[in-house]
Amino acid sequence: MGTLEKEWIEIQGYKHDGGMHRIWDSAYCLVDNDKYFAVCSKKVKVIEHDFRIRYTKEPAIMIFFKDSWFNVLAMFKKTGITYYVNLASPYIIENKKLKYIDYDLDLKLYPNNEIKIIDVKEYGFNKKKYNYGDDIEKILKFNVKKIKLMMENRTFPFNEEDMNDLYKTFLSQNKKEGK
């Protein structure tokens, strides 16, 4: 299978039962290597599970890891980069669609280095609703600790320089293509 670099793809988030959670209708693939998949989005249409439609307000880089149970959204805000982390299954790609399962629990890293765990109640509710099981809970708890450590140490992808470089690549490649 070939690389999807420089291709526009759709991103689909699902729930544990296979139901649709959220769709980003287009994201530009910057990196497709053996460790992660990086895309950039800018003013993208997002369709929620209840069919509400919204558009993203700021450019963002999304990093999806091939073997980690989380993905990272680096949002380029006026105050600096805010990182939003979804606890989620590793992704798969089918027909230019990146797919993963969202496990509700999220973390945020703000430009002032504040770290917050969010959506804890949603996780508790859905853990029962979808019957996540002990294996999923162990994986998620392990990853929360791993993510916090990565955030504190500002290791990839929680490094502003890395994210800025990826965004510059997006701008450069899309300027050439007239997008």
Q: Which residues contact 161 (CB under 8 A, 6 or more apart)?
A: none
Q: Which of 22, 52, 54, 154 is catalytic?
A: 22
- CA–CA separation, 86 and 115 (whole Å): 14
- CA–CA separation, 178 and 163 (whole Å): 22
Q: What is the dihedral of CA 82, 111, 89, 94, to 10 degrees?
A: 40
Residue with tokens 């006026």: 78
In the annotation, is 22 catalytic?
A: yes
Query: Which of helix, strand or coil describes residue 149?
Result: helix
Q: Please give the DSSP secondary-structure letter assigned to residue 132.
A: -
- What is the CB-side half-sphere exposure of residue 3 using CA atoms within 13 A? 14
- Phi then psi for residue 111, to 5 deg, are -55, -25
What is the set of active-site residues? 22
